[in-house]
């Protein structure tokens, strides 16, 4: 008998461990893909484990270039921006994580610029170099836009020397050296460098993988530069919308449902209570698809379309199921509590807010979890009535960006991961409370 | 359970007379908003379904029940029902039972149950759209690992979401990983089984897997039944995953009845037919829901 129980226990552990692994499998895949560059995501045959990204440094010597400081800086900037973008362009398929550019004069570093390839990609895809397909001096330097790109990336320039130094002993010691020099100086492609290239350094840096996420968070602000809210808050604009909806849903649903349930449970005769419960519970049977069209027409009439009103107003309908749960709970509260309040001459409002609600914490937490999960997942209504980037909730933003924007998959995975991690963290922090509430729901609700 | 006593009813009656307005103030907002957002919209929907809806001068020409007749004669309508039932069937086979099994085994775990149950919570909070992104990628005909897996078993590569035979399967399949709040719901039901029953089982020599099968499972069958009906009601109205994964395609192979309505509404602006189908869906849902409420009631009594 003991033996059988032990066998079961071991099976339970093994099964549960495997099940947890399965549950996390999609998320782990997403995490892994989000650390790849876009070429690695599209690699065949598909690989799941990301490769450690490479770091390319380009060292260019300007000794002997006699010019004023400002002119010298301009010349180096031209070189630097074209080196960064050309190197990225030519090595896209090789998991390069960053490109660094060192400008040297008489043995000391006077200029340093460094960009993560995600940033270079964003600039070529969404901002300064949007639509540029050939990387050469004409396209990159046209209209001095390389200065805009350089400002976006940031750089350091000081004739007396900057702090960044390169590993001189590894200069040119890599298999890519000749190729990269050739890419940068290919005159047939209209490329060239003002200084003289001393060589390149190739390294690997695992820290470049998590750095991806800094750019994933900023992806929306690159994608929608014309939208002030998203440009400023980027991804957090969607988070704000989601939280707004959730908070509003919590306030209206808990407020209206408890108010109604209190009325049904304590203020009317038994017969009226039955009629009212039927009135509310009947709405459970109405499929959302049945009312969505008139609701949309109604909202259009009051101009509540494509704005926050469209998103928030439908939550004024008190979900019948929550009324049902509240009423069940209120029915079971001992009458003696309320009798005492009545003798004191307290109003029903006092009884509701000061006696009933404080006692209802268990049922409120169950309902709150239900509301949060429902509001978090709401989709179709927003898709139909509030489909504008500045109104997107996280769910809708991920859907719309992944379908409409022709974005690359590692961006999508990255955006998903930056959404999921904070939510998971919050869930784990409150897991004890959530579990308690769910246990209450199972027994009482 | 404390029921209202006759004394309390008397007290309530006096209060009632003293202030007839109070219940009205408590109940009015809920009644009003329910009316606006459910009853008015439902009747308005029914009214639209009786018309050849004209967007320029609504509601257009009155046609009686012609829209309903049209739909009943439309093979696409019946196909959408077929697809919907396929969704229900596959959900039952692929995903419905998973949290039950997970909860049963979770209950057998001694140390670390808290951690495991917390981890089970997490899939519930992953936004649906994020799930869609990764599963679409897993099932990608060229870059996905699903084809690698079937290749391992010597099967030819599939096109998954674009394959008329597999598309519904692929939409339902992600549910197979289970987890979520469902596990915790079943777990609390299992823990609610009285200790006496368990002890009696042990004395009778019913232990190990036998105990799971003959004691645990039968004791939570009621919750399973309610969850089953809820799942069926939910899946009959399945819409979001269809929009997110396939937009009903390829052709109309994954167009559930709710998606069929959505398509008529959003793509074809054929509101009359859309609402007519919605009403037929409502009939089916109403029957299912009344069964569920009846069961819920009987559990409570």
Residue in chain B nearest A31 by alpha carbon: B134
Lowest mean pLDDT across B125-129, B185-189, B292-296: B292-296
Are residues A332 and A375 both part of a single domain?
yes
- Give B-chain residues touching A243 at CB under 8 angstroms: none
Distance from CA of B53 to the nearest CA of A (A): 12
Is A430 part of the contact surface with chain B (CB cutoff 8 Å)? no
pLDDT at residue number A42: 79
Q: Verify whether the Cβ–Cβ distance A16 to B174 is below 8 Å.
A: no
Assigned domain for B105 exists? yes
Cβ pairs bridging A and B (under 8 Å): 325
Residue A244 has pLDDT above 90, yes or no: yes
Mean pLDDT of the residues in chain B: 86
Mean pLDDT of the region A199-213: 88
Does any domain span residue A198?
Answer: yes
Which residues 6+ apart lie within 8 Å of A113 measured at CB? A80, A81, A84, A100, A101, A150, A153, A154, A155, A156
Residues A344 and A383 in one domain: yes
Same domain, A243 and A321: yes
Q: Verify that A383 and A280 share a domain, yes or no.
A: yes
In a domain, A46, yes or no: no
- Residue B163 pLDDT class (50, 70, 90 cuts): confident
Q: What pLDDT is attached to residue B3? A: 47
CA distance A200 to A172: 5
Checking if the pLDDT of B259 tops 60, the result is: yes
When pLDDT is averaged across residues A122-139 and rounded to a whole number, the result is 83
| pLDDT recorded at residue B15 | 53
Q: What is the pLDDT of residue A445?
A: 37
- Structural domain contains residue B33: no
CA distance B259 to chain A (A): 9
The pLDDT value recorded for residue A67 is 79
Window 153-192 of B: residues touching A by CB (8 A cutoff) are: 174, 176-179, 181, 184-189, 191-192
Looking at the domain assignment, is residue B37 inside a domain?
no
pTM of the model: 0.85
The verdict on B1 touching A (C-beta cutoff 8 Å) is yes
Residue B291 has what pLDDT?
83
Q: Give residue B111's pLDDT band: very low, low, confident or very high (50, 70, 90).
A: confident
Q: Is residue A39 part of a domain?
A: no
A212 lies in some domain? no
Domain identity same for A184 and A240: no
Nearest partner of B120 among B168, B175, B180, judged by Cα: B180
Contacts of A238 (CB under 8 A, 6+ apart): A220, A392, A393, A394, A396, A397
Q: Which CATH number does the domain housing residue B86 bear?
A: 1.10.3720.10
Is the pLDDT assigned to residue B178 strictly greater than 70? yes
Residue A220 lies in a domain: no
Q: Would residue A223 count as lying in a domain?
A: no
Residue B258 included in any domain = yes
Q: A41 CB near a chain B CB, below 8 Å?
A: yes
What value of ipTM does the predicted structure carry? 0.84
Please check the confidence at residue B172 and state whether its pLDDT lies above 90: yes
What pLDDT shows up at residue B1? 41
Q: Closest partner residue to A262 among B26, B130, B289, by Cβ? A: B26
Listed residues A145, A173, A205: the one ending a domain: A205
Chain B residue numbers touching A291 (CB-CB < 8 A): 37-38, 41-42, 45
When pLDDT is cut at 50, 70 and 90, the band that residue A243 belongs to is very high
Mark yes or no for CB contact B208/A283 under 8 Å. no
pLDDT digits (tens, 9 = 90+) for A356-393: 899 888 889 889 988 998 898 889 999 988 888 889 99
Task: Provide the pLDDT for residue A444.
Answer: 42
DSSP string, chain B: -PPPPHHHHHHHHHHHHHTSHHHHHHHHHHHHHHIIIIIIHHHHHHHHHTEE--SSSTT-EE-TTHHHHHHHT-HHHHHHHHHHHHHHHHHIIIIITHHHHHHHHHHT--TTHHHHHHHHHGGGGS-HHHHHHHHHHHT-TTT-SHHHHHHHTTPPP--GGG-TTTHHHHHHGGGGG--SHHHHHHHHHHHTS-HHHHHHHHHTT--THHHIIIIIHHHTHHHHHHHHHHHHHHHHT--HHHHHHTTT-STTTT--HHHHHHIIIIIT--HHHHHHHHHHHHHHHHHHHHHHHHHHHHHH-
Could you give the number of structural domains in chain B?
A: 1
Residue B159 lies in a domain: yes
pLDDT(B47) > 50: yes
CB contact under 8 A, A402 and B265: no
Q: Is the pLDDT of residue B71 over 70?
A: yes
Name the residue in chain B with its Cα closest to that of A295.
B41
Is the pLDDT at B13 greater than 70, yes or no?
A: no
Closest CA of chain B from A237, distance in Å: 16
Is A310 domain-assigned?
yes
Check whether residue A392 and residue A438 sit in a common domain. Answer: yes
Same domain for A255 and A162? no
Q: Which of A152, A174, A205 is the last residue of a domain?
A: A205
Distance from CA of B240 to the nearest CA of A (A): 6
Contact A376 B34 (CB under 8 A): no
| pLDDT band at residue A264 using 50, 70 and 90 as cut-offs | very high
Edge-to-edge strands of the sheet including A155-157?
A: A155-157, A108-116, A96-105, A54-61, A196-204
Partner B contacted by A341 (CB < 8 A):
no
In chain A, % of residues over pLDDT 70: 96
Chain A residue numbers with beta carbons less than 8 Å from the beta carbon of B145 are 29, 46, 48
Reply yes or no on whether the pLDDT at B2 is more than 70: no
A67 and A192 in a single domain? The answer is: yes
Do the Cβ atoms of B48 and A293 come within 8 Å? yes
**Straight-line distance from the first to the last Cα atom of chain B, in angstroms, rounded to the nearest whole number:** 10
Collect all residues of chain A within an 8 Å Cβ-Cβ radius of residue B135: 26
> Measured between CB atoms, does B222 come within 8 Å of chain A?
no
Confidence of residue B301 (pLDDT cuts 50, 70, 90): low
Q: Which residue out of B19, B26, B150, B282 would a mutagenesis test of the A interface target, given it has the greatest number of A Cβ atoms within 10 Å?
A: B26
| Domain region containing B235 | 75-300
The parent domain of residue A412 ranges over 228-443
Residues A296 and A378 in one domain: yes
Q: In this structure, is residue B55 part of a structural domain?
A: no
Candidates B48, B102, B131; nearest CB to A294: B48
Q: In terms of domains, do A196 and A236 share one? A: no
* B63 pLDDT higher than 90: no
pLDDT over 50 (residue A94): yes
C-alpha distances out from residue A153 to A101, A146, A150, B54, Å: 12, 10, 5, 55
User: At residue B19, does pLDDT exceed 70?
Assistant: no
DSSP-derived letter for residue A61 is: E
Between residues B293 and A106, the one the model is more confident about: A106
Domain count, chain A: 3
Q: Which residue of A has its CA nearest to B175?
A: A23
Query: Does residue B194 belong to any structural domain of this protein?
Result: yes
CA distance B1 to chain A (A): 6
> Best residue in B27, B97, B261, B296 to probe A by mutation, most A CBs within 10 Å?
B27
Q: What pLDDT does residue B300 have?
A: 62
- Choose one of A151, A171, A205: the last residue of a domain: A205
Contact: B179, A23; criterion CB under 8 Å: yes
pLDDT at B16: 53
Query: How many residues does this entry show for chain A?
Result: 445
Nearest to A334 among B2, B109, B290 (CB): B2
Residues B18-44: what's their mean pLDDT? 88
Find out whether B242 and B171 touch, Cβ atoms under 8 Å.
Answer: yes
Distance between B158 CA and the closest CA of chain A, angstroms? 15
A58 and A28 part of one domain? no
Mutate to test the interface with B, among A291, A412, A430 (most CBs of B within 10 A): A291
Chain A residues whose CB is inside 8 A of the B202 CB are: 1
B34 inside domain = no
């Amino acid at each position: 008998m003991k033996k059988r129980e032990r066998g079961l226990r071991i099976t339970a552990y093994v099964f549960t461990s495997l099940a947890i692994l399965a549950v996390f499998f999609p998320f782990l895949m997403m995490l892994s893909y989000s650390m790849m560059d876009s070429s690695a995501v599209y690699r065949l045959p598909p690989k799941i484990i990301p490769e450690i990204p490479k770091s390319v440094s380009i060292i260019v010597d300007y000794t002997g270039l006699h010019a004023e400081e400002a002119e010298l800086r301009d010349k180096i900037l031209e070189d630097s921006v074209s080196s960064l973008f050309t190197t990225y362009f030519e090595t896209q398929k090789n998991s390069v994580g960053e490109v660094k550019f060192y400008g040297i004069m008489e043995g000391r570093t006077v200029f340093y610029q460094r960009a993560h390839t995600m940033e270079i990609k964003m600039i070529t895809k969404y901002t300064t170099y949007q639509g540029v397909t050939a990387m050469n001096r004409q396209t990159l330097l046209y209209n001095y836009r390389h200065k805009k790109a350089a400002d976006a990336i940031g750089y350091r320039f000081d004739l007396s020397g900057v702090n960044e130094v390169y590993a001189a002993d590894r200069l040119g010691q890599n298999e890519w050296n000749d190729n990269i020099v050739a890419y940068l100086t290919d005159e047939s492609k209209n490329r060239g460098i003002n200084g003289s290239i001393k060589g390149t350094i190739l390294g690997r840096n695992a820290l470049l993988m998590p750095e991806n996420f800094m750019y994933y968070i900023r992806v929306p602000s690159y994608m929608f530069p014309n939208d002030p809210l998203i440009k400023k808050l980027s991804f957090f604009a969607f988070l704000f919308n989601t939280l707004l909806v959730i908070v509003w849903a919590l306030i209206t649903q808990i407020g209206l449902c408890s108010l109604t349930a209190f009325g049904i449970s304590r203020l009317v005769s038994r017969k009226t209570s039955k009629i009212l419960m039927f009135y509310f519970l009947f709405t459970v049977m109405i499929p959302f698809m049945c009312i969505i069209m008139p609701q949309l027409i109604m909202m259009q009439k009051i101009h509540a379309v494509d704005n926050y009103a469209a998103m928030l107003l439908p939550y004024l309908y008190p979900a019948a199921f929550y009324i049902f749960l509240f009423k069940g709970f209120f029915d079971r509260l001992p009458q003696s509590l309320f009798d005492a309040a009545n003798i004191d001459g307290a109003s029903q409002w006092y009884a509701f807010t000061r006696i009933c609600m404080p006692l209802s914490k268990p049922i409120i937490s169950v309902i709150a979890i239900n509301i949060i999960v429902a509001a978090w997942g709401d989709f179709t209504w927003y898709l139909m009535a509030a489909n504008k980037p500045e109104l997107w909730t996280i769910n809708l933003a991920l859907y719309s960006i992944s379908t409409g924007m022709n974005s690359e998959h590692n961006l999508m995975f990255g955006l998903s991961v930056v959404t999921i991690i904070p939510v998971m963290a919050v869930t784990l922090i409150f897991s004890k409370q959530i579990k308690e509430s769910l246990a209450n729901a199972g027994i009482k609700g | 359970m404390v029921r209202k006593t006759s004394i309390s009813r008397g007290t309530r009656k006096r209060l009632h007379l003293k202030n007839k307005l109070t219940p009205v103030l408590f109940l009015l907002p809920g009644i009003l908003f329910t009316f606006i957002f459910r009853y008015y919209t439902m009747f308005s929907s029914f009214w639209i379904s009786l018309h050849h809806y004209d967007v320029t001068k609504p509601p257009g020409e009155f046609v009686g029940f012609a829209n309903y007749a049209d739909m009943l004669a439309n093979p696409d309508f019946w196909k959408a029902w077929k697809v919907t039932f396929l969704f229900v069937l596959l959900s039952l086979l692929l995903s419905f039972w998973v949290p039950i099994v997970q909860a049963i085994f979770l209950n057998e775990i001694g140390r670390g149950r808290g951690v495991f149950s917390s981890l089970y919570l997490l899939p519930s909070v992953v936004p649906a759209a994020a799930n869609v992104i990764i599963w679409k990628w897993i099932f990608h005909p060229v870059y996905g690992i699903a084809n690698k897996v079937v290749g391992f078993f010597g099967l030819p590569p599939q096109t998954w979401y674009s394959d008329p035979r597999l598309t519904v399967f692929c939409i339902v399949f992600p549910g197979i990983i289970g987890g979520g709040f469902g596990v915790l719901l079943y777990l609390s039901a299992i823990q609610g089984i009285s200790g006496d029953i368990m002890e009696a089982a042990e004395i009778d020599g019913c232990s190990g897997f036998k105990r799971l099968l003959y004691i645990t499972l039968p004791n939570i069958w009621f919750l399973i039944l309610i969850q089953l009906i809820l799942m069926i009601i939910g899946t009959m109205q399945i819409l979001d995953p269809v929009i997110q994964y396939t937009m009903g395609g390829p052709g109309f192979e994954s167009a559930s009845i709710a998606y069929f309505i959505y398509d008529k509404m959003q793509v074809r602006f054929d509101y009359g037919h859309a609402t007519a189908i919605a009403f037929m869906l409502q009939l089916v849902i109403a029957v299912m829901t009344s069964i569920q409420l009846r069961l819920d009631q009987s559990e409570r009594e």
